[in-house]
Amino acid sequence: MRIDGHQHFWKADRGDYHWMSPAVPVLCRDYLPTDLLPHLVKHDITRTILVQAAQTVAETDYLLALAAQNTFIAGVVGWLDMDSVNFPRQFELYRENPNFIGLRPMLQDIPDPAWIIRPQVLKSLQLVADADFPFEFLTYTRHLPYVLQALESVSSLRAVIDHVSKPEIKEHRLEPWKQLMAQAAQHANLYCKLSGMITEADHERWSVEDLRPYIEHAVDCFGWNRIIFGSDWPVCLLAGTYDQVIEALMEVLRSRMDATSEARLFG
């Protein structure tokens, strides 16, 4: 089974997408299951992981409803308020839904880069870890030192770093991202999504070679058992098509992969 480990749907008139703007028309419209299906069929992708794009419980409810209606959606990575004393009850309630399979605060959009190590958030994170429930870090390089602290505090957390932590690909900057990712990968329960990279490159002039050092470093650090393919569709449309996302990744990795490692990447 081939899986797209990171994609989004949204309905613009729901109104809770804080990032949505007419200034970015390619994203300022509805993206629904019927829009994605042709791409999945073309690339023999059987199922997807649907990830939240708004910091509201209403968004989580909306995505869970889509998952209930579309069998190709393997599960939803949703949002709940981890900085609330009410989180334990809310988490317990949502875990009753079998389509709720992951949790993601949008760390990249929170003004405090150390939010993840706030006492209340760490309590919630420990609860997530105790339940062996997957967690996703949506971060830039500047968040990684705090991610490392969180992983030290909650060592049993099973988590994934989205979009290889959004390094500064457009500027061709590797450090301190490279060193921090190597440190993060030492945590055996941490995974990495090879996703969201073309949108961190120059949207108009990116090349496969711009992506290569970041992809190769992530694979070297995490190994084939802990990397996950994600298209980041439709956000990827800012810089390229679904086809280009897969083609770029395959161009970098083809010489390093055999059938087993490719199955792990897409599985």
Core vs surface per residue 225-249: b (16+ CB within 10 A) or e: ebbbbbbbbbbbbebbebeebbebb
**231/250 Cα distance (integer angstroms):** 12
In sequence order, the 6+-apart residues with CB closer than 8 A to the CB of 32 are: 9, 11
- At 227 the pLDDT is 98
**182/227 Cα distance (integer angstroms):** 14
- pLDDT (average), residues 2-22: 97
**Is 174 in a helix, a strand, or coil?**
coil
Q: What Cα–Cα distance (Å) separates residue 208 from each residue in 211, 241, 244?
A: 5, 14, 10
Q: What percent of the chain has pLDDT over 90?
A: 100
pLDDT single digits (tens) 160-174? 999 999 999 999 999
Q: What percent of the chain has pLDDT over 70?
A: 100
- At 141 the pLDDT is 98
- At 266 the pLDDT is 97
Parallel/antiparallel/unpaired status of strands 73-78 and 100-103: parallel
- At 75 the pLDDT is 98
The candidate with the shortest Cα–Cα distance to 177, out of 151, 228, 215, 136, is 215
124 confidence band (pLDDT: 50, 70, 90): very high
Write 212-215 long-range contacts (CB < 8 A, 24+). Answer: 212/252, 213/174, 214/164, 214/167, 214/169, 214/174, 214/177, 215/164, 215/249, 215/252, 215/253
Our separate counts of H helices and E strands in the chain read 9, 8
Q: How far is CA 247 from the centre of its chain?
A: 19
Parallel/antiparallel/unpaired status of strands 227-229 and 190-194: parallel
CB atoms within 10 A of CB 54: 21
- At 262 the pLDDT is 97
- At 33 the pLDDT is 98
**88/101 Cα distance (integer angstroms):** 16
Supply 60's token pair.
Answer: 């989580």
244 confidence band (pLDDT: 50, 70, 90): very high
* Phi, psi for residue 243 in degrees, rounded to 5: -60, -45
DSSP for 197-266, please give it: -GGGS-TTT--HHHHHHHHHHHHHHH-GGGEEE---BTGGGGT--HHHHHHHHHHHHGGG--HHHHHHHH
- pLDDT (average), residues 29-56: 98
